[in-house]
Chain A
Amino acid sequence: MSLLVAREVVVGFLNRIFAILVKELKQLSRDRVTFGMIVMIPLVQLLLFGFAINTDVRHLPAGVVDHSNSSYGRSLMQTVEATQVVDFVQRYHSIAEAEAAITRGDVRAVMVLSPDLVTRLMDYNAARSNGALNSSHSTSRPVAQWLVDGSDTLITGAIKGLRSMPLNEMFQRSAPTSPPLVFAVVPYFNPEQRNVVNTAPGLLAIILTMTMVMFTATSLVREREQGNIEFLITTPVHPMELMVGKMIPYIFVGLIQTCIVLALSYWVFHVPINGGLVTVFAATLLFIMASLVLGLLISTRAQTQMQAMQMTFFLMLPSILLSGFMFPYEGMPRAAQIIAEALPATHFVRTIRGIVLRDAGLADLTFDITWLAVFAVTGMVVAALRFNKRLD
């Protein structure tokens, strides 16, 4: 008898979840824009981060003020241009003219060659040849000066990188160019030092945070905004059923996005997927659930879809900046690290990079995996408790 009752309860539970699931899928399939975004967001983001966004500065427009009027000046310019860091686009007659050009934004940097360029080059050459014998020569005067638009530190950094550039070609001989190395560096996992290798797996965390949180946050609030909830809560639907029914379709959406990101990373950007696919998807599934739960939590607080969107964006920014996706977690101040630890994205960035790039197993990532699991479960319970089956 009690077995029959129990069976009926379970059947009712599954029936209602199924009802909500079917409804969500139908609504989703009719919402062309959302459907398009599911595919376009990972596609465009990955292409942007893979191709467009580059911290290696190249081809800065630069000018030159050449007071030396020598063939050495032209030769030096060619050597500098060969590094591809700058392109000389303009010649100026005076420092003042060059400064005005920088102010106008015509050029980002100007190289100033003094009348005694030839002497300076000779000094440099002599110092270089004797470098190993007499270190006092290394304090000789620089060959030339750079005036840089220093507002962007990336650009200043690129020009600063030119300070120790070798001038071998100018002297047509091979000599010990740079000082001997103190350390040898062996870069594991990304031997070619390509940015996209590190970015692509991290981007998975960002894309999933963006879409998963937003979808669930707005979808429950939409029911409230459009008045569906008033009808729903007089029916036998339990909050937990409503939430599970709403989550399942989006789990599939998240997995589709994961496939897009991984496929694109692998075939277009040649990001090695060192870990097993099962491990990758198991970890991603966990993160998808944590993100969906986060969205549900937002939806129990937000009164309108607009508010839900705002709260999602409030979460997005720290997720992008603090999760370790853009900047290494270790380099952040303590306070930022504490905030980062509270974000599911941080734990997933670590996890997915560990699995994809370093072939770490789930057992190696116990802390982050456990954190995500605990977050998903407690969040779900809190959301179900907060979701009142009453209007008051």
Chain B
Amino acid sequence: MSEFAIETHKMSRHFGVLRAVDQLDLSIPSGCIYGFLGPNGCGKSTSIRMLTGLLSPTEGDITVLGESLPKDADKLRQRIGYMTQKFSLYQDLSIEENLQFVGRIYNLAPKALKQRIDELYSLYDLRSQRKQMAGTLSGGQRQRLALAAATIHDPDLLFLDEPTSAVDPENRREFWERLFDLCSEGKTILVSTHYMDEAERCHGLAILENGTKRADGSPQTLMDQMGANVVELEDSVSGEGLRALKSRLIELPAVISAAQLGTRLRVLVSTDIAEPLPYLQSLMPAPRQMQTARPSLEDVFVSCTGGRRGIS
């Protein structure tokens, strides 16, 4: 197998005039967890659908596990697993029946299927609810069932489209533990998310906005190479309030974004300004306490996606 599980060159998908995905180049190495980070409507789902062969690209080349898409999509089916954004198993079937159905679809022999389902019960803690209808499961249980179904045939490559959007933090952590287990078995996992904490867990990451890739690399590299400095300004009892200060600062071209965190204002200053602290201090009517801070992934995200009109 090649070193890359997924390679695309200028992958694009247009819906009428909308360029949902525009000239996306990806090289996703085998055996890692790779994330698509981006706001809703940035092209994450469309990209995943093209990479699974569900949608054909308007233009560009796609190679997944050595097969060229969409031409050879059928050869790929047995080797990939896909967990859709919306729960797509049958609500009026029990956990057991759903898994039996999916297993048979993947052509598992009866004995092997029984054994595999038993394994999945233990792995995803589903045994006690196995007779329960999928429609009555909690968000966490449902998501574990979906992951079990997507991995029942032991695929080499797993696509997860916003897998944790309906799950509480506890279940989310547990879920990621399972993903790392799968990864350690040599599987490649592509996961889309709009949660920073999830993105930070990935080995590699692409930040998408409006169908184009804004940044690509490991979370650490992205944070190190961010084109902005982070300064936190403290609230002062006298003088200008943080809200007013914020609206004033974001008007400046050198300020990429400003977001309030409790009693502090976190400001991203473009690297065009060599000395951000004196620069900001010079803008204050009275001296204000401020210090530089370590960039977070959210800062990277905001600076990549043009923060001014973004999260504030």
Q: Point out residues on A near B: beta carbons under 8 Å.
A: 11-12, 15-16, 18-20, 22-23, 26-27, 30-31, 226-237, 389-392
Contact of A236 among B77, B88, B93 (CB under 8 A): B77
Looking at chain B's contact residues, the main secondary structure is: loop
Partner of A391, one of B54, B78, B80, B106: B54
Instruction: Check B89–A234 contact: CB distance below 8 A.
Output: no
In the complex, are the beta carbons of A15 and B104 less than 8 A apart? yes
CB neighbours (8 Å) of B70 from chain A are 390
CA distance A320 to B53 in the complex (A): 43
* Most central of A233, A234, A391 by chain B CB within 10 Å: A234
A23 contacts B54, C-beta separation under 8 Å: no
Q: Are B88 and A390 in contact (CB under 8 A)?
A: no
The answer on a CB contact under 8 Å between B104 and A234 is no
Whether A230 contacts B84 by the Cβ 8 Å rule is yes
Chain A nearest CB from B81 CB (Å) reads 8
The answer on a CB contact under 8 Å between B104 and A16 is yes
Chain B residues with CB under 8 Å of chain A are: 49, 52-56, 70, 73-74, 77-78, 80, 82, 84, 86-93, 97, 100-102, 104-107, 149
- Please state if B104 and A231 are interface contacts (CB–CB under 8 Å): no
B108 smallest CB distance to A (angstroms): 9
A234 to B49, CA, bound (A): 9
The distance from the CB of A224 to the nearest CB of chain B, in whole angstroms, is: 11
Q: Is the CB of A15 within 8 A of B53?
A: no
* Residues of the A chain whose Cβ atoms lie less than 8 Å from the Cβ of B90: 23, 27, 228
Docked pose: A23 CA to B102 CA in angstroms: 10
Please give the distance in Å from B250's CB to the nearest CB on chain A: 40
Task: Give the distance to chain B from A16, nearest Cβ to Cβ, in Å.
Answer: 6
A-B contact count (CB 8 A): 79
A18-B104, A233-B54 known; A26 and B84 CB under 8 Å? Answer: no
Residues of A within 8 A of B101 (CB): 19-20, 22-23
A-B contacts, 29 of them at CB < 8 A, read A12-B107, A15-B104, A16-B104, A16-B105, A20-B101, A22-B100, A23-B90, A26-B92, A27-B90, A27-B93, A31-B92, A226-B88, A227-B87, A228-B89, A229-B88, A230-B54, A230-B86, A231-B88, A231-B149, A232-B105, A233-B54, A234-B52, A234-B53, A235-B77, A236-B105, A390-B54, A390-B56, A391-B49, A391-B55
Please state if B77 and A27 are interface contacts (CB–CB under 8 Å). Answer: no
Q: Specify the chain B residue showing the minimal Cβ separation from A242.
A: B105
Which residues of A sit under 8 angstroms from B73, Cβ to Cβ? 389
Residue from B49, B77, B88 in contact with A228 in the complex, judged by beta carbons closer than 8 Å: B88
Tell me, in angstroms, the Cα distance from A235 to B86 when the chains sit together: 16
- The answer to whether B104 touches A230, judged by C-beta atoms less than 8 angstroms apart, is no
Assess A227 versus B54: contact at CB under 8 Å? Given A19-B104, A22-B101, A236-B78: no
Contacts of B86 in A (CB 8 A): 227, 230
For the complex of A and B, 8 pairs with smallest distance between CB atoms: A19-B104, A231-B88, A234-B82, A236-B77, A227-B88, A227-B86, A12-B107, A23-B101
Of the candidates B93, B106, B149, the one whose C-beta lies within 8 Å of that of A26 is: B93
- The CA of A298 and the CA of B95, in the complex, are separated in Å by 31
| Complex CA distance for A392 and B70, rounded to whole angstroms | 12
Instruction: Tell me the minimal C-beta distance from A5 to chain B in angstroms.
Output: 14
B171 CB, min distance to chain A CBs, angstroms:
21
- Smallest CB separation, A236 vs chain B (Å): 4
The answer on a CB contact under 8 Å between B105 and A19 is: yes
Please measure, in the bound complex, the distance between the C-alpha atom of A11 and the C-alpha atom of B86, giving whole angstroms: 31
Measured CB to CB, the closest approach of chain A to B265, in angstroms, equals 42
Using Cβ atoms and an 8 Å threshold, which residues of chain B touch A236? 74, 77-78, 105-107
Q: How far is the CB of B298 from chain A (nearest CB, A)?
A: 30
How would you classify the secondary structure of chain A's contact residues: helix, strand, loop or mixed? helix
Q: Is the CB of A392 within 8 A of B56?
A: yes
B54 touching A16 by the CB < 8 A rule? no
Chain B neighbourhood of A232, CB < 8 A: 88, 105
Query: Using Cβ atoms and an 8 Å threshold, which residues of chain B touch A27?
Result: 90, 92-93
Residue from A12, A23, A390 within 8 A of B97 (CB atoms): A23
Question: What are the residues of chain A within 8 A of B52 when measuring CB–CB?
Answer: 234
Partner of B105, one of A26, A237, A390: A237
Is the CB–CB distance between A23 and B93 below 8 Å?
Answer: yes
Which residues of B lie under 8 Å from residue A391 when comparing CB positions? 49, 54-55
CA distance A237 to B104 in the complex (A): 10
**In the bound complex, what is the Cα–Cα distance between A232 and B74 (angstroms)?**
13
Known: A227-B88, A231-B84, A234-B82. A390 touches B93 (CB 8 A): no
What's the Cα separation between A351 and B197 when bound, in Å? 68
Interchain CB contact under 8 A, B82 and A231? yes
Q: Is the CB of B107 within 8 A of A16?
A: yes
Among residues of B, the one whose C-beta sits closest to the C-beta of A236 is: B77
Given contacts A11-B107, A30-B92, A231-B149, 9 further A-B contacts (CB under 8 A): A16-B104, A27-B90, A234-B52, A234-B82, A235-B102, A236-B78, A236-B105, A390-B70, A391-B54
Q: Which residues of A contact B97 (CB under 8 A)?
A: 23, 26
Chain A residue with Cβ nearest B107 = A12
| With contact pairs A19-B101, A390-B54, A392-B56 given, residues A234 and B80 touching in the complex (Cβ less than 8 Å) | yes
Chain A residues with Cβ below 8 Å from B107 are 11-12, 15-16, 236
Separation of A237 and B82 alpha carbons in the complex (Å): 14
Docked pose: A26 CA to B87 CA in angstroms: 19
A233 to B88, CA, bound (A): 11
Q: Which residues of A contact B93 (CB under 8 A)?
A: 23, 26-27
Give Cα distance in the complex from A39 to B137, angstroms: 32
Nearest CB to that of A27 among chain B residues? B92
CB distance from A119 to the nearest CB of B (A): 80
Known: A23-B90, A228-B90, A231-B88. A390 touches B55 (CB 8 A): yes
Is A231 a contact of B77 with CB atoms below 8 Å?
A: no
Task: Looking at the assembled complex, report how far the CB atom of B242 sits from the nearest CB atom of chain A, in whole angstroms.
Answer: 44
Judge whether B84 and A227 touch: CB under 8 Å.
yes
User: Which chain A residue has the least Cβ–Cβ distance from B110?
Assistant: A15
Neighbour of B53 across the interface among A31, A229, A237, A390, CB < 8 A: A390
B246 to chain A, nearest CB (A): 41
Chain B residues whose CB sits within 8 angstroms of the CB of A23 once the complex forms? 90, 93, 97, 101
Q: How far is the CB of B57 from chain A (nearest CB, A)?
A: 10
In Å, the complex CA distance between A11 and B101 comes to 16
Residue of A nearest to B80 (CB): A234
Which residues of A are found within 8 Å of B88, using beta-carbon distances?
226-232
List the A side residues contacting B102 at CB < 8 Å: 235
List the B residue with the shortest CB-CB distance to A31. B92
**Cβ of B54 and Cβ of A234 under 8 Å apart?**
yes
A30 and B74 alpha carbons, distance in the complex (Å): 33
